[in-house]
Structure 1
Amino acid sequence: MTNGLWGNRSPRFKRIFKTSTSLAAVSVAISMAFTALPEPAEAQTFSFSNVSIEGNQRIEPGTILSYAGIARGAPVSAAQLNDAYQRISASGLFETVEILPQGNTLVIRVVEYPTINRIAFEGNSRMKDEDLAQIVRSQSRRVYSPSVAEQDAQSIAEAYTQQGRVSARVTPKLIKRSENRVDLVYEIFEGGVTEIERIGFVGNDAYSDRRLRRVLETKQAGLLRAIIRSDTFIEDRIAFDRQLLQDFYASRGYVDFRITGVNAELAEERDGYFVTFNVEEGQQFSFGDVTVSSDLAEVDPELFQSVVKLKSGKTYSPSLVENEIARLERLAVQEGLNFVRVDPRVTRNDRDLTLDVEFMLTRGPRVFVERIDIEGNTTTLDRVVRRQFDTAEGDPFNPRAIREAAERIRALGYFADANVEAREGTTPQQVVIDVNVDEQPTGAIGFGGSYSTTSGFGAAISFRETNFLGRGQILSLGINTASSASSYNFNFVEPAFLGRDVAFGLALGYTETDNEYAEFDTAEGEFRPSFSFPISENSRLSLRYTARYTDISNTDDDDAGQVIRAEEEDGSRIDSSIGYTFSYDTRRTGLNPNAGVLLEFGQDFGGVGGDTSFIKTNLRAVAQTKVWNEEVTLRASFEAGALHYSSGESRVTDRYLLSDSTMRGFEYGGIGPREYDSTTDVDDGLGGNYFAVARLEAEFPIGLPEEYGISGGVFYDIGSVWGLSDSTKDSTTNKILYDEFKARQVVGVSVFWDSAFGPLRLNFSRPVQKEEHDREQNFSLSISTEF
């Protein structure tokens, strides 16, 4: 193969220029012998009247001449011939190139690269052929290029590196076929996964390594690493972890926190990484004086000061400052003050570790939104994205409002990526908002099994679409069959009813039970449309109508009590009611990253048609905080309910029957009023018209590596179910137990496991105060949920 005129040339061409060089040297020597001033040597030139191209099969001679760039009859130097050779070689079309001057003929001899017949992959099991085909640039029926093939091999190796297989090797091989064709085969050695064996921190005093590891997206290798892949070393994930650590400390007042470096050391066996974050925490700061000022005559600082919720002494957090800025800007709009911007000015007080914050209201530039352009949404309708903006075309431009809209768009979950940028419009006083999105699947079909300590084993089929028909609507269908219960449900939510910030929901459900805990079966159907909308920053109101069908059956067995028999004789019943729920949730605004409060109060009023009239009231309050450097989570909750009928009577399908999710330590319906008769073996849980339960619990690490996702907890529950109407008690001659309030108390321990199947909770409980005929349940398994 020829590499150039002055490199590894063909022997014939090399002899020509070697001879010329020797003659020139002799000429120079003779000249120096006869004259004191030597004359400069002239460079050898060529002139060709003919060009002969040999070896080309697919490439036209004219194409090769165009690359050479040599004109007929024009004098050509050796350097120009070398340039012609380099241009032809750089075209990437030829395996070898030779340029041979033969008198007045220039011979260009080439060997073309073969055509790729097909591309194959061998040795791959962790990545599919179709996925690898998307990575490589080489294509069938195109000219083979060694440089492109090498780049493809590198790209494949990088894809394996992203999966943690840093020892993966890829080698392109050629298999020759007829007619100058080849099969391009990428031989792949995948290697093993390089896990993160240990994540450590240097310089941290306020928070332990265990606590900081929970912040990171990257995890240490654990027992379940075949399922949990977050222990794979990926550089992009480490970069994301740096930002997570920065945000964690910043939200807790450590304004000087910085990461001085991240060391990732690969073990000698190349099967594990040891990652160390070097940090400088600095001091924790709190808010000092929080004031509002303005240099605008039309602004009343006292009015704006009155809506500020930040108080001196609270731990400093940038998110709290952002919340105040948004609140003040909303007030400015309400007051008709356009183009008012809030500039936070922070003064540092190192002596008492406080930060004074002055919110300065200033006049911003008079810039308007010209239009909002949305691209990349093939399924999602424009209006679904557009309604995430509080700003419309023609409104004053507010960068903060645009950033908040971008966050809302990303939070929808419809897009793998969403970029929102502002650029200058047709005039400097106008901007265009460009929204570029990359859609991702939003639907899921599930087939699986289920287990509940109250319903036993069952099969489940579900369908859920969170962006139905691209309208941003939520549609879900579910069928769940268990040994003692079968349920069928349909749910639909329109999050922006009539283009407003009002969510419309429609729920349909039907449940049949073959109750293991009582000698009767039930059938229940429900139709519930609802509307939900915000009424303040942290509160929301829901309004609903409920039509409910209930029926009690299969009480013919002698074990069924007289109360249940009498309620069965009432036949099927339809209840019709309207209701509301008010909720207050501080988690919406993140006022405290370590604590939160949830309050819910709701009532349903029966009698809007139907067979009964009643008032049903429910209350729920939950508070949570983290202590001891956020290692321990403390949680307290209280739930209560009251049911009062003014027309008709409550039945077992209406009254409160508590499950272990409300009060642990007992079976479903295991506490509260019971019809009991030892002579007839009647022992039916009837439920009560009232209930109240208080729960106290703590969750903490138990010494296992956090990558296992296992932690422990303890809990204490106290509560009761009580209350039957006089007519219900009069319907039986048997003994009614526990109609009055009788507190039960339960203590226990919990094991929390963040498994690949979801967050599981195992409760081991023991009642310390109970009644004789209560039905205990000392173990329960459930899905662990946040409050």
Structure 2
Amino acid sequence: MGFLRWTGLLVGAVIMVTLLAVGAPAGAQEGGRIRSISIQGTQRIEIETVKSYMAITEGDVYDADRVNRSLKALFNTGLFADVAIRREGDQLVVRLVENPIINRIAFEGNRRIKDEQLNTEVQLRPRTVYTRTKVQTDVKRILELYRRSGRFAATVEPKLIQLEQNRVDLVYEISEGQPTYVRRISFVGNHRYDEDRLREVLQTKEERWYRFLSSDDTYDPDRVTYDRELLRRFYLKRGFADFRVGSAIAELTPNREGFFITYTIDEGERYRFGDSTISASLKDLKTEELKPLVVSEPGDWYNADQVEDIVQKLTDAVGTKGYAFVDIKPQVNRNRETKIVDVTYEIQEGPRVFVERIDITGNVRTLDKVIRREFRLVEGDAFNSAKLRRSRQRLKDLNFFEKAEVTNVPSETAPDRTIIKVDVQEKSTGELTFGVGWSSQIGPMMEAAIRERNLLGRGQDLRLSGMIGLRRTSVDLSFTEPYFLDRELAAGFDVFAIDRTLQQQSSYNSISLGGDLRIGYMLTDNMRQDWKYTLKRDEVKGVNSTSIYVIDQIGTSVTSSVFQMLTYDRRDSRIEPTEGYFVRGSTEFAGLGGTVHFLRGGAQAGQYYTLAERIVLGLTGSGSYVYGLGERVRITDRVYAGGDSLRGFATGGVSPRDKNTGDAIGGVWMTTGSAQVKFPIGLPEEFGVLGEVFTDVGAVGPTDVANASGVDQASSLRASVGFGASWKSPMGPVSVDLGFPLMKESFDKTEMFKFNLGTKF
């Protein structure tokens, strides 16, 4: 009975409490209105500012949901380390702990990556609010930077140093760890090219002792992604239209000190070009006028780079005809039975989209206008993807940035607008070089130079260099403004002093002091015009000869000349061409004041062919003529052949000579030509070592001295053959040539061995 009685009482109590809870009015549950809000703990932030973030205000009915939203809103501002809201009667108390202000950011333990680069990577800055979230984000960015340089063992520990007035010093303690090298790179599925050849295509390299000056043998996942694209380009350029990279797997070695990278590829079949046609849906566009731009020939190996180049040329050509909105898509039709690729270039009207704006981020030192002037598009222009690609390439060609990403995204305000986003990462553009070396022409030498290619972030180029050699000493100051008057005019000046010792060649020394003003501009994408005005003082002295032709030149002369050069260049590279040609013509007139009067003309041309993989034939030729205007040409202005221009002969070795002393006195015209084949000699491509075989020909015309009966001179053709090697060493270019004259005159000076070494460190 006692048990039943107590059970009944307990059930009754539960029912009563439930009824009271259900029957209580809502206002009583919420607790009535908030008469006041008390803000506590603020130091820098105004009380009204805090209240503006809250979802509940004085006079509102207390609502737990609105209080919760106010709590989240205050946390989301990033201004507070802690937020607590409680109710005391009809008052709402908000207790805050403000995040401190960062006084200074420092890095400790970093040796491989400088503070400047780390500062550009982190988002937090001095005098900004410290938050844990932003610090953790910056830690990840720093770790990613180290991983891109191959240091996966790096750790970063952020530390706070408390200061007065709620300020802190933020210190990132960095342990860089050991680099994580790539131990082996393997390929699966390759049949046409062996692994050694494919490894040369990749930017990532296997660890070797001789790569101590490079980071390419450290593992970088971004670089591996780029290598996949390099492989794709390599195969598509050589006709493998079905090529694809199935996977690129990086496996950490058991000791966690290196990576094994394996690429699984599918080469597919090799295709040749078939028919290439143009299909246009634009009104009044005559496709016949565009056909010469389609340079691919039936039977040639398919080349995806050539297809892209044709698309670019067609886009430019159609754009010049007034079609602002155009979209050109190459339709590639592969016949797997015949291994033929037919390409149809479909020209259609593109969407009518305009450039709303160009947003540039990441540039700390480089001015916005330096970046904007490289773009072929400006705000308000009709958007053109081909021009965007060209702009991206021009930006990369500046060589000011470690990274230059150019993308476009739709505008949020209008459907017919697009926003171009430019994200760059700057790199050092200053150069300080010291060098020692030796050359057959100058002898032992020492060189020093300081250069800034992006002066004050304006894109200007300033260089000061000096050289001391056995037979040449010089000082040169050079400045170039690539966009003079905000136009595509490259203007600049040079100031120079050159002391030459020509005793071996002509038994005299010369000193040249002067300077020049120059300007150049592009007439088309491939044609350039350059102009230069030169004012210099030449002195012939130190004559150690009895030759009347040399003694007669003792003294000083002042040259005031105007020089112009027109260049048409279709080479694939101006430094190491493998295909294409160039033609160059120049004239120089001296006589605008000064004491020297002459007219000089010159011409150069070259054609390059790829005979086989990495085997290049180069055919070059040049000629020049100098004519004295009412006077004889001075010995310093005449022409000489030999050395680099005619291997197998000494510098100035082909020239009219004094019969008695053998001194070279120079001619008034010269012509040279060369056929050279460069080829690999079995070493990895990254070594930069190439072999070469060559044949050079040349001739020098007669001199214009008085009483030339005492001069040995002949305009006959000279020729030589030889072989050699060149090496792009980490310390500078090195070349060795052995030349053997086949046709020469008895008074010519020969030089079988030619060696040049330019060391920079």
Q: Please, what TM-score do these two structures have when normalized by structure 2? A: 0.76
Q: Structure 1: how far apart are the matches of 2:425 and 2:342?
A: 43
Q: How does 1:207-218 map to 2 (within 5 A)?
A: 207-218=193-204
Residue equivalent to 1:767: 740
Aligned: 1:283 with 2:269: yes
The answer (yes or no) to whether the contact 1:210–1:706 under 8 Å persists in 2 is no
1:570-593 deviations in whole A, cap 9, x for unaligned?
Answer: x32234444443323222699x99
Find the structure with the greater CA-based Rg: 1
Residue equivalent to 1:567: 553
Task: Letter of the 2:447 partner, please give it.
Answer: A
Aligned: 1:713 with 2:691: yes
Residue equivalent to 1:673: 656
SS at 2:663's partner residue?
A: strand
Task: Letter of the 1:542 partner, please give it.
Answer: D
What is the CA-CA distance between 1:460 and the residue it aligns to?
Answer: 2.1
1:204-262 deviations in whole A, cap 9, x for unaligned?
Answer: 33334333333322222233333222211111111111122222222333221111111
The match for 2:529 among 521, 537, 541 is: 541
1:334-392 deviations in whole A, cap 9, x for unaligned?
Answer: 44445344343333222332222223333334x36365445446765665544444445
Residue equivalent to 1:24: none
5+ long unaligned stretches in structure 2: 22-28, 32-39, 57-74, 85-97
- Distance change in 2, residues 1:462/1:188 (3 Å): closer
Residue equivalent to 1:747: 722
What is the CA-CA distance between 1:498 and the residue it aligns to?
Answer: 5.3
Q: Structure 2: how far apart are the matches of 1:442 and 1:149?
A: 26
Residue equivalent to 1:102: none
Q: Structure 2: how far apart are the matches of 1:223 and 1:494?
A: 42
The match for 1:638 among 618, 621, 629 is: 621
Task: Letter of the 1:481 partner, please give it.
Answer: I
The answer (yes or no) to whether the contact 1:665–1:778 under 8 Å persists in 2 is yes
The answer (yes or no) to whether the contact 1:374–1:382 under 8 Å persists in 2 is no
Residue equivalent to 1:692: 671
1:114-157 deviations in whole A, cap 9, x for unaligned?
Answer: 99999997766545678778878999999999999988877665
SS at 2:682's partner residue?
A: coil
Over aligned residue pairs, what C-alpha RMSD do you find? 5.6
Q: Structure 1: how far apart are the matches of 2:563 and 2:171?
A: 68
What is the CA-CA distance between 1:610 and the residue it aligns to?
Answer: 4.7
Q: Structure 2: how far apart are the matches of 1:255 and 1:768?
A: 48
Q: Please, what TM-score do these two structures have when normalized by structure 1? A: 0.74
Task: Letter of the 2:697 partner, please give it.
Answer: G
What is the CA-CA distance between 1:522 and the residue it aligns to?
Answer: 0.8
Range 245-254 or range 656-665, more displaced = 656-665
Residue equivalent to 1:481: 468
1:5-45 deviations in whole A, cap 9, x for unaligned?
Answer: xxxxxxxxxxxxxxxxxxxxxx99x979x99xx99x99xx9
1:518-543 deviations in whole A, cap 9, x for unaligned?
Answer: 42111224544444444445333334
Residue equivalent to 1:620: 604
- Distance change in 2, residues 1:315/1:560 (3 Å): farther
The answer (yes or no) to whether the contact 1:560–1:684 under 8 Å persists in 2 is no
5+ long unaligned stretches in structure 1: 1-26, 50-55, 70-88, 98-111
The answer (yes or no) to whether the contact 2:649–2:749 under 8 Å persists in 1 is yes
- Distance change in 2, residues 1:383/1:259 (3 Å): same
- Distance change in 2, residues 1:641/1:318 (3 Å): same
Residue equivalent to 1:105: none
The answer (yes or no) to whether the contact 2:738–2:753 under 8 Å persists in 1 is yes
1:56-79 deviations in whole A, cap 9, x for unaligned?
Answer: 9999xx99xxx9x9xxxxxxxxxx
1:591-628 deviations in whole A, cap 9, x for unaligned?
Answer: x9952222223233445555455443333233333344
Q: Structure 2: how far apart are the matches of 1:156 and 1:547?
A: 53
Residue equivalent to 2:542: 554
The match for 2:701 among 716, 719, 723 is: 723
- Distance change in 2, residues 1:150/1:424 (3 Å): closer
What is the CA-CA distance between 1:773 and the residue it aligns to?
Answer: 5.7
- Distance change in 2, residues 1:223/1:737 (3 Å): farther
The answer (yes or no) to whether the contact 1:762–1:781 under 8 Å persists in 2 is yes
Q: How does 1:316-465 map to 2 (within 5 A)?
A: 316-365=302-351, 367=352, 369=354, 371-376=356-361, 384-391=370-377, 394-415=380-401, 416-421=403-408, 423-424=410-411, 427-428=414-415, 430-438=416-424, 440=426, 443-453=429-439, 454-455=441-442, 456-465=444-453
The answer (yes or no) to whether the contact 2:741–2:750 under 8 Å persists in 1 is no
- Distance change in 2, residues 1:540/1:148 (3 Å): closer
Task: Letter of the 2:677 partner, please give it.
Answer: A
1:300-330 deviations in whole A, cap 9, x for unaligned?
Answer: 3333335544433333334433333343344
Residue equivalent to 2:68: none
The match for 2:291 among 298, 302, 305 is: 305
The match for 2:582 among 592, 595, 598 is: 598
- Distance change in 2, residues 1:669/1:177 (3 Å): closer
The answer (yes or no) to whether the contact 2:475–2:497 under 8 Å persists in 1 is yes
Q: Structure 1: how far apart are the matches of 2:457 and 2:664?
A: 46
The answer (yes or no) to whether the contact 1:414–1:467 under 8 Å persists in 2 is no
What is the CA-CA distance between 1:160 and the residue it aligns to?
Answer: 3.7
Q: Structure 1: how far apart are the matches of 2:413 and 2:206?
A: 53
SS at 2:583's partner residue?
A: strand
SS at 1:727's partner residue?
A: coil
Range 709-718 or range 410-419, more displaced = 410-419
Q: Structure 2: how far apart are the matches of 1:344 and 1:500?
A: 35
SS at 1:647's partner residue?
A: coil
Q: Structure 2: how far apart are the matches of 1:644 and 1:193?
A: 63
What is the CA-CA distance between 1:479 and the residue it aligns to?
Answer: 3.2
The answer (yes or no) to whether the contact 2:400–2:429 under 8 Å persists in 1 is no
The answer (yes or no) to whether the contact 1:538–1:589 under 8 Å persists in 2 is no
- Distance change in 2, residues 1:231/1:191 (3 Å): same
Seq. identity, %:
28
Q: Structure 1: how far apart are the matches of 2:358 and 2:172?
A: 43
Task: Letter of the 2:724 partner, please give it.
Answer: V
Task: Letter of the 2:735 partner, please give it.
Answer: L
Residue equivalent to 1:662: 645
The match for 1:259 among 212, 221, 245 is: 245
Range 273-282 or range 318-327, more displaced = 318-327
- Distance change in 2, residues 1:726/1:699 (3 Å): closer
SS at 2:153's partner residue?
A: coil
The answer (yes or no) to whether the contact 1:605–1:613 under 8 Å persists in 2 is yes
Q: Structure 2: how far apart are the matches of 1:496 and 1:185?
A: 42
SS at 2:468's partner residue?
A: strand
Q: How does 1:508-547 map to 2 (within 5 A)?
A: 508-518=495-505, 519-547=507-535
- Distance change in 2, residues 1:196/1:184 (3 Å): same
The answer (yes or no) to whether the contact 1:468–1:475 under 8 Å persists in 2 is no
The answer (yes or no) to whether the contact 2:547–2:663 under 8 Å persists in 1 is yes
SS at 1:765's partner residue?
A: strand
Task: Letter of the 1:554 partner, please give it.
Answer: G
- Distance change in 2, residues 1:174/1:320 (3 Å): closer
Across the two proteins, how many residue pairs are aligned to each other?
A: 728
What is the CA-CA distance between 1:413 and the residue it aligns to?
Answer: 3.4
Task: Letter of the 1:696 partner, please give it.
Answer: A
